[in-house]
């Protein structure tokens, strides 16, 4: 039996004006895995993530070639509803940015925007999302206080809960722990490992150590090229490409 990839990237290229920043890459990402996309500065990792939910449509002068399929369906198909795509494929950024409102309202914001008004339903959605983001126990007694008073690590889990409240299938995280201390980082990593049962995770780690700790599979990007992809165990111990080896052993980047 062959398993259909959750995400299939086929001969995908990305251009900012005349500059090509992704060089015809091919990549499959499967359900219930943590796939880490790593590489030195300007490799195109963030650009690839933004292309996956068409956030990059919002940038001027952008052009793409090739295909990105989710569950076998092209994200560029004419009948693809982009707002729905962005609900299914959520994105968490390096700096957590809670809205200046209560913890409860931060999580309820998305569901409310989608027309859910029933208080009990909203409360349930908030609780469920906070539990999945492993934040519930820390905040359940102060849901109506400002989210801005949470620690950095808690704010990042709040941002994860906010995405989860929309019932995504894929969660993309771009260096979610770059601004966090090691204890908060460990907490986020534990959360991601629990979450992969529920959503497919694509992670740009802030260092190789993080990728080694959480990745099931990984892809190494260099100047827009997908140099090597495969099982994390293999890539981080016996990479096939000399460039991957040089990078993970700290010879450049
Ligand atoms: N809005 C933009 N307009 C033009 N070029 C851009 C834009 N954003 C990124 N680029 C270029 O695209 C290339 C890939 O950038 P990208 O941000 O995807 O790299 P990255 O792998 O995320 O790197 P970093 O480690 O710095 O986060 C770089 O050469 C960058 O200069
Ligand atoms: Mg980046």
For ligand 1, atom 18, name the residue with the nearest CA: 44
Residue 118 falls inside a structural domain: no
Read off the tokens for 53.
């939910």
pLDDT at 3: 87
Residue 242 falls inside a structural domain: yes
Q: Could you identify the residue written with the tokens 């620690």?
A: 151
- The structural domain count of the chain equals 1
pLDDT in tens, 44-68: 999 999 999 999 998 999 999 999 9
Read off the tokens for 172.
């993309």
Residue 224 falls inside a structural domain: yes
| CA distance readout (Å), 101 to 10, 32, 35, 93, 142 | 41, 33, 33, 19, 13
Residue 163 falls inside a structural domain: no
Q: Which atom of ligand 1 is nearest to the CA of 44?
A: 18
pLDDT at 99: 95
Q: Which atom of ligand 1 is nearest to the CA of 47?
A: 18
| Residue-by-residue pLDDT tens, the chain, 253 positions | 678 999 999 999 999 999 999 999 999 999 999 999 999 999 999 999 999 999 999 899 999 999 999 999 999 999 999 999 999 999 999 999 999 999 999 999 999 999 999 999 999 999 999 999 999 999 999 999 999 999 999 999 999 999 999 999 999 999 999 999 999 999 999 999 999 999 999 999 999 999 999 999 999 999 999 999 999 999 999 999 999 999 999 876 5
Separation CA 18–CA 76 (nearest Å): 21
pLDDT at 94: 93
Residue 162 falls inside a structural domain: no
Pocket of ligand 1 (CB under 6 A): 16, 21, 39, 41-47, 59
For ligand 1, atom 30, name the residue with the nearest CA: 42
Read off the tokens for 168.
């995504």
For ligand 1, atom 5, name the residue with the nearest CA: 16
Question: What integer best gives the mean pLDDT of the chain?
Answer: 96
Q: Which atom of ligand 1 is nearest to the CA of 221?
A: 21
Residue 137 falls inside a structural domain: no
Separation CA 253–CA 243 (nearest Å): 11
For ligand 1, atom 24, name the residue with the nearest CA: 41
Residue 44 falls inside a structural domain: yes
Q: Which atom of ligand 1 is nearest to the CA of 46?
A: 22
Residue 145 falls inside a structural domain: no
pLDDT at 253: 53
- Parent domain of 180: 7-95+169-248
For ligand 1, atom 3, name the residue with the nearest CA: 16
Task: Tell me the torsion sign for CA atoms 9, 161, 80, 76.
Answer: negative
pLDDT at 2: 79
Separation CA 110–CA 120 (nearest Å): 16
Q: 45 C-alpha to center of ligand 2: Å?
A: 6
What pTM value is reported for the model?
Answer: 0.95
- Edge-first strand listing for the sheet containing 7-16: 19-29, 7-16, 62-70, 73-74
Q: 226 C-alpha to center of ligand 2: Å?
A: 15
Q: Residue 237 sits in a domain of what CATH number? A: 3.40.50.300
Collect contacts of 209-217 with beta carbons under 8 A, ≥24 apart: 210/36, 210/177, 210/185, 211/36, 211/38, 211/236, 212/236, 213/189, 214/34, 214/36, 214/189, 215/34, 215/35, 215/36, 216/33, 216/34, 216/35, 217/29, 217/30, 217/33, 217/35, 217/36
Residues with CB under 5 A from ligand 2 (ion): 46
């Amino acid at each position: 039996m062959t398993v259909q990839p959750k995400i299939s990237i086929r001969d995908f290229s990305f251009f900012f004006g005349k500059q090509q920043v992704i060089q015809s890459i091919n990549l499959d990402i499967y359900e219930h895995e943590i796939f880490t996309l790593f590489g030195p500065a300007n490799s195109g990792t963030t650009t690839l993530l933004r292309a996956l939910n068409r956030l990059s449509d919002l940038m001027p002068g952008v052009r793409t070639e090739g295909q990105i399929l989710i569950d076998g369906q092209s994200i560029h198909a004419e009948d693809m509803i982009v707002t729905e795509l962005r609900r299914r494929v959520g994105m968490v950024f390096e700096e957590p940015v809670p809205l200046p409102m209560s913890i409860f309202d931060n999580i309820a914001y998305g569901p409310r925007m989608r027309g859910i008004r029933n208080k009990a339903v909203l409360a349930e959605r908030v609780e469920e999302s906070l539990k999945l983001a492993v934040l519930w126990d820390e905040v359940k007694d102060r849901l109506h206080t400002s989210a801005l008073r949470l620690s950095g690590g808690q704010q990042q889990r709040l941002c994860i809960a906010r995405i989860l409240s929309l019932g995504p299938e894929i969660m993309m995280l771009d260096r979610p722990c770059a601004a966090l201390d090691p204890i908060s980082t460990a907490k986020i990593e534990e959360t991601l490992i629990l979450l992969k049962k529920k959503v497919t995770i694509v992670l740009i780690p802030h260092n190789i150590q993080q990728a080694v700790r959480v990745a099931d599979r990984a892809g190494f990007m260099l100047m827009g090229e997908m140099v090597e992809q495969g099982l994390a165990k293999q890539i981080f111990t016996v990479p096939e490409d000399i460039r991957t080896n040089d990078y993970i052993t700290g010879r450049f980047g």
